[in-house]
Amino acid sequence: MLCGQGLVSFEGEEGTKRVVSATVPIGEGIAAAVAVVGANPSKARFGVSEDGSPLKLLIHDPVSRLTLLQMPVGEAGEAGPGVPRGSSKRLKAGSPVYLDPDKKDEPSRVVTWENRYRDNVLPLALMRVHHPGDSPPPAGSPLFAEDGRLVAVCHQEAKEFGNGTYALPVEVIDRVAVDLRERGKVVRCWIGIVMEVKHAVPAIMTVRPGSPAAAAGVEENDILLRIGSRQVDSYADAVNAFYYLVSGDPIEVEVMRKTDRLTLSVTPEVNPSLTQPAGDPGASADE
């Protein structure tokens, strides 16, 4: 078993076999798993068979597919105090990460960060990681940095160029855990700006009246440079940064207005568009 972690399985779509995920303990008896497309996150069991103990779904993020489960007391592989979490932000092409932090001679390696799939911008950036051996690890498998801290979690297979998987940055766990603690469900947040994917420059095309961005003094035609700790060089970078917004938590937004650099404090809110019909996600972002 990878790093001593247990396996869970999710009921698959009708007529398909159970979908397996490794787990990562994050504390308080909670384990993180990945219910990939085709898996029912509300139908999880401990182990790989239908005979395993049913697990309580605490929260599921339909964007990342990250799923937090309450592990049963006394089960082998029960989620313990939680593995120490680090940061993915310094990982780049060629960086080593480890399925087992005690086996430094068998590194996996980051290939690249990807924020597009075919012609579509992804709602958050993923890592492509190549692994040693002949078969990729299951979804949910933890990836550790040199210092033994968790930095990513394997997602679905990425077969095009080698023995690889996509991987969720560890910050996704932190983001989903906030919503579990504060709301009990995942919510998307906004600051009230509109950008367009066709523009090479991350320019703000519209600022919604009465929005957090308007209240903070963001203006139309401002160029986004940074959202919180995340640098913005493109539309896709901005979309990735918006994924991590938390309602009520002020963030610094740095913009360029003509030739001036301005740092503004913006407090995100729950996105009101969640109750509105969805538009064309490939054309613009109302965030």
d(CA 176, CA 155): 16
Tell me which of 157, 177, 197 is where a domain ends: 177
The candidate with the shortest Cα–Cα distance to 161, out of 137, 132, 129, is 129
Q: What number of other Cβ atoms are within 10 A of residue 127's Cβ?
A: 27
The partner residues of 194 in beta bridges, in order of sequence, read 206, 286
Based on the fold, state whether residues 212 and 277 are members of the same structural domain. Answer: yes
> Could you tell me the CATH number of the domain that includes residue 195?
2.30.42.10
Q: Is a pLDDT exceeding 50 seen at residue 76?
A: no
Structure tokens at 205: 């095309």
Q: What is the reported pLDDT for 273?
A: 73
pLDDT at 256 over 90: yes
**Phi, psi (degrees; rounded to nearest 5) at 207:** -115, 120
Residue 243 lies in a domain: yes
Query: What pLDDT is stored for residue 13 in this prediction?
Result: 83
* 3-class secondary structure, 125: strand
- Domain range for 45 is 2-70
Q: What is the mean pLDDT of residues 249-256?
A: 98
Residue 87, in any domain of the structure = no
Residues 215 and 277 occupy one common structural domain: yes
Same domain, 161 and 194: no
Mean predicted confidence (pLDDT) in 128-140: 95
Residue 240 in any domain: the answer is: yes
pLDDT at 285: 58
Q: 21 lies in a domain?
A: yes
Residue 239 banded pLDDT, cuts 50, 70, 90: very high
Give yes or no: residues 168 and 129 share one domain.
yes
Residue 78 domain flag: no
Q: What is the CATH number of the domain that holds 43?
A: 2.40.10
What's the domain count of the chain? 3
Residue 9 lies in a domain: yes
Tell me, what's the pLDDT at 85? 97
Residue 24 clears pLDDT 90, i.e. is over it: yes
Instruction: Express each pLDDT in 165-220 by its tens digit.
Output: 999 999 999 999 999 999 999 999 999 999 999 999 999 999 999 999 999 999 99
pTM for this model (two decimals):
0.90
